[in-house]
A = this chain, B = another copy of it.
Amino acid sequence: MTTTWFDETLYPFYRQGIRVDGVLFKGQTKFQTVEILQNERLGRVLCLDGVVQTTEGDEFYYHESMTHVGMLAHGRVESVLIIGGADGGILREVLKHPNVKEVVIVDIDAELIDMCKEHLPLHHAGAFDDPRTINLPGDGAAYVAETDKRFDLILVDSTDPQGPGIVLFQAPFFRNCKRVMKKGGLMVTQNGVSFYQQDELRDAHHHRLEVFKNAGAYLSPVPCYVGAHMAFGWASDSMMLPSIPHATIARRLRQSGIETRHYNPEMHAAYFAIPNNLRPLLAEGHERTGLVGLVKAIASRLGRKAKKAAAKAAPKKAAPRKVAAKKPAAKKAPAKKGAARRSAPKAKAKRSAPKGRAAAKRGTKAKKSARSRRS
């Protein structure tokens, strides 16, 4: 018997392959091709435009670490906005918390939601039928620009920061998220895998820092998102996520009464450790803890504003700006690899502007690509 493989097309130089033990569904929505496959170890596997989105076998790694960190760091979340998340996994985890009164979920692909409802029952577990759920299929970026609603927590279970999804990793979107955030609120976004998508992590982090007082990333590996840790970006005007005491998180988890398969307070703390090779990408955010951090943050903010003004006035003189802003970070945590890659514009250009028909197609086929793709 011949073995059939589903080989992912996320990167040109690397692929993962899932053995196809059955095809449960194959279809096309207005936005993307949808395949739901069966695999002995991973159970049902959802693929969009050639990229693995989520599997029954490992989804709890992703959905729990994305949801509960923000929920418990805040501690009194009543209203949640989910952008993307058609499979319902994030929705299911949010609704576990008894304090939650309302969850608005905005995924651009209404057809995909219906397919997931039918074929991924373990993902949503009936969450779309919960009376607290408001399902508003549509463009997430447009929603945060227009709505009058306000939220304690925004979870962006989005596309990769390339192709049409790129707006969800940029400052204008973050500004609108801030606009619809209640006082004391925060946002958490998926930010790619920390080994293969480092440039995207750095860029999105810097955009979050343009908008919010505090921003950073935390890390948790997810088996089918290959490339060491999955990165989750976070941002808040009032909260410094890594500083919340372990005992507080543990108490809140106990009080919530929820059960988890992966997440626990020790993992929560562990997510915030950043390896040396990633520190330069996140340096500004992670330096900002305690009083020293506060002073540095203010200095950095003033510096950024001054730099922006200077850049506007004389765009040709932007060179010294880089020196002032980036040097201390690079010094602090040596990461030869990362630094080397960042200073190799050729390699980067190759990745972000692939050649040929197949490659061009790939450019718009990113992990989670359809979850909140803009038309």
Contact = CB atoms under 8 A, between A and B. Distances in A.
A332 B196 CA distance: 36
A336 B39 CA distance: 19
Interface of A: 5, 7, 11-19, 21, 39-42, 57-58, 60-61, 195-196, 221-223, 226-229, 259-264, 266-267, 269-277, 333-337, 347, 350
In order of increasing CB-CB distance, the 7 nearest A-B pairs are: A270-B270, A270-B273, A266-B273, A221-B221, A15-B17, A195-B223, A262-B275
Contacts of A350: 40
A336 B276 CA distance: 35
Contacts of A12: 19, 40
Nearest to A260: B276
B270 A41 contact: no
| Among A272, A273, A275: residue with most chain B CB under 10 A | A275
Which residue among A18, A41, A259, A347 has the maximum number of chain B CB atoms within 10 Å of its CB? A41
A16 B18 contact: no
A58 B195 contact: yes
Contacts of A18: 13-14
Nearest to A21: B13
A16 B334 contact: no
A16 B283 CA distance: 32
A346 to B, nearest CB: 11
Contact of A337 (B5, B17, B261): B261
Contacts of A42: 13-14
Contact of A16 (B17, B228, B261, B272): B17
Given A11-B41, A264-B273, 10 more contacts: A12-B19, A13-B18, A13-B39, A13-B42, A14-B17, A221-B228, A221-B229, A223-B226, A264-B275, A270-B273
Contacts of A262: 275-277
Given A17-B16, A61-B228, A41 B267 contact: no
A303 to B, nearest CB: 26
B276 A269 contact: no
Contact of A264 (B21, B57, B276): B276
